């Protein structure tokens, strides 16, 4: 899908980043932020039309909900090469840009780029560095394929000692296996503006990179859920099935709002932290987590006949819902959050084919300066 055709301008801006012309990260710094949002809206509507989606559904698309255009990223993956350089890859290439700064990073992460470069110069065995920001500091995840020439134990101890001079929280992985870690608590990210509800996650796992837009997404899900509860007259707690729940990005706020939530997640570590998150806020009665792949959960008869859900929430990977749509249990409402436009288009058409009526399509600019868009859509029967 060629999306760059939607992002043209007659009055290009001078990009903020000196690496913009080469870097494979940002693609839109030559457009004003208003132009970016307008172009993304046009892209979404036009791609829906090209996919054969009827005009009545395209007319449901709302204006793009946006956050900050710069300094929003709370997680970056820095690549390395054999020369001890650190940065991002060039567009459509494995050639590394040895960058010194990144204006879409949060200020806390951008300050750590220089420290990361020094660390990689000392230890060129490092293949990738993941920097993540939580309210409890910056976490540094060092990924290696194998240890250096010295003994494995002394090598990793030396690496940890040097990393700790710049980072309070360090995790060292060899072939994605934890070798050493040194931090007092797991990564914590705020799920609301007041930072009164925190999601605890393991460093190095998936987390939303844009706190501001993620919180707007959560508020939209809460509003949709409470609207459904109000329409039912508040006879009992709203029963919600949160598929691909992770550690509770949506489950925690929904449970705190008084809903009865079942989260389904295949990652055991996320399940463990999800249960700890629920216990921390006294939400165990409102929130339970089930350790299972979504496909297995839906096809193995684990949903009891007496267990009816009012709302099903999906935040799937890029592949979307294709494998599970035919196995969905009955519900009054669906909320789908899509991070990949082709999958969203396919899922919307398939859900419509299975009798689900599209009620809302709300795009979110989770990834400012890039071609990507997050889309929330709701469905009823």
Token digits of residue 216: 């707007």
- The residues, ordered by sequence, that sit 6+ positions from 136 with a Cβ below 8 Å of its Cβ are 169, 185, 187, 188
The answer to whether residues 273 and 252 touch, using CB atoms and an 8 Å cutoff, is no
How far apart (Å, rounded) are the C-alpha atoms in residues 204 and 185?
13
List alpha helices for 232-267, DSSP H: 251-256
Query: Within a 10 A sphere around the Cβ of 308, how many other Cβ atoms?
Result: 13
Token digits of residue 49: 């039309």
Surface-to-core class of residue 37, CB atoms within 10 Å of its CB (0-12 exposed, 13-18 middle, 19+ buried): buried
| pLDDT values of the chain reduced to their tens digit, one per residue, 381 residues | 456 677 777 678 999 999 999 999 999 999 999 999 999 999 999 999 999 999 999 999 999 999 999 999 999 999 999 888 999 999 888 899 999 999 999 999 999 999 999 999 999 999 999 999 999 999 999 999 875 555 678 999 999 999 999 999 999 999 989 999 999 889 999 999 999 999 999 998 888 899 999 999 999 999 999 999 888 876 779 999 999 999 999 999 999 999 999 999 999 999 999 999 999 999 999 999 999 999 999 988 767 654 689 999 999 999 999 889 999 999 999 999 999 999 999 999 999 999 999 999 999 999 999 999 999 999 998
- Number of residues that make up the chain: 381
How far apart (Å, rounded) are the C-alpha atoms in residues 298 and 53?
28
Give the pLDDT score at 207.
86
- The residues, ordered by sequence, that sit 6+ positions from 27 with a Cβ below 8 Å of its Cβ are 4, 7, 369, 370, 371
For domain 75-134+137-184, give the fold: OB fold (Dihydrolipoamide Acetyltransferase, E2P) (2.40.50)
Query: Within a 10 A sphere around the Cβ of 152, how many other Cβ atoms?
Result: 12
The answer to whether residues 87 and 78 touch, using CB atoms and an 8 Å cutoff, is yes
**3-state secondary structure (DSSP) of residue 361:** strand
Measure Cα distances from 295 to 33, 133, 208 in Å: 39, 32, 23
Give the pLDDT score at 57.
96
Domain ranges of the chain: 75-134+137-184
Give the pLDDT score at 98.
94
The answer to whether residues 225 and 255 touch, using CB atoms and an 8 Å cutoff, is no
The answer to whether residues 109 and 73 touch, using CB atoms and an 8 Å cutoff, is yes
Give the pLDDT score at 3.
61
Give the pLDDT score at 7.
76
30-83: pLDDT as tens digits: 999 999 999 999 999 999 999 999 999 999 999 999 999 999 999 999 999 988
């Amino acid at each position: 899908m060629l999306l760059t055709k939607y992002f043209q301008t007659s009055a290009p801006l001078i990009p903020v980043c000196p690496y913009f012309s080469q870097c494979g990260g940002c693609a839109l710094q030559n457009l004003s932020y208003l132009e970016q949002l307008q172009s993304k809206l046009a892209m979404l509507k036009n791609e829906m039309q090209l996919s054969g989606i009827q005009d009545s559904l395209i007319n449901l698309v709302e204006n793009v909900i946006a956050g900050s255009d710069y300094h929003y990223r709370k997680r970056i993956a820095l690549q390395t090469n054999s020369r001890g350089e650190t940065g991002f890859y060039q567009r459509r290439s494995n050639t590394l840009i040895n960058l010194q700064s990144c204006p879409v990073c949060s200020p806390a992460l951008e300050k750590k780029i220089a420290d990361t470069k020094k660390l990689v110069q000392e230890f060129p065995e490092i293949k990738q560095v993941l920097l993540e920001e939580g309210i409890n500091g910056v976490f540094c995840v060092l990924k290696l394929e194998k240890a250096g020439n010295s003994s494995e134990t002394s090598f990793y101890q030396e690496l940890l000692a040097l990393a700790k001079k710049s980072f309070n929280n360090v995790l060292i992985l060899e072939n994605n296996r934890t070798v050493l870690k040194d931090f007092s608590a797991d990564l914590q990210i705020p799920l609301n503006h007041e930072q009164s509800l925190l999601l605890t996650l393991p460093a190095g796992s998936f987390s939303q990179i844009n706190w501001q837009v993620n919180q707007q997404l959560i508020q939209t899900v809460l509003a949709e859920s409470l609207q459904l509860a109000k329409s039912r007259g508040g006879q009992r707690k709203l029963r919600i099935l949160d598929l691909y729940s992770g550690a509770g990005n949506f489950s925690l706020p929904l449970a705190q709002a008084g809903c009865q939530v079942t989260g389904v997640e295949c990652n055991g570590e996320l399940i463990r932290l999800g249960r700890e998150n629920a216990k921390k806020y006294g939400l165990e009665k409102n929130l339970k987590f089930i350790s299972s792949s979504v496909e297995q959960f839906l096809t193995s008869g684990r949903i009891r006949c007496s267990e009816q859900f009012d709302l099903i929430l999906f935040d799937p990977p890029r592949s979307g819902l294709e494998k599970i749509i035919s196995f969905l249990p009955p519900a009054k409402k669906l909320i789908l959050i899509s991070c990949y436009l082709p999958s969203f288009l396919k899922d919307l058409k398939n859900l419509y084919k299975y009798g689900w009526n599209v009620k809302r399509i709300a795009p979110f600019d989770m990834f400012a300066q890039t071609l990507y868009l997050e889309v929330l859509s709701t469905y009823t029967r």
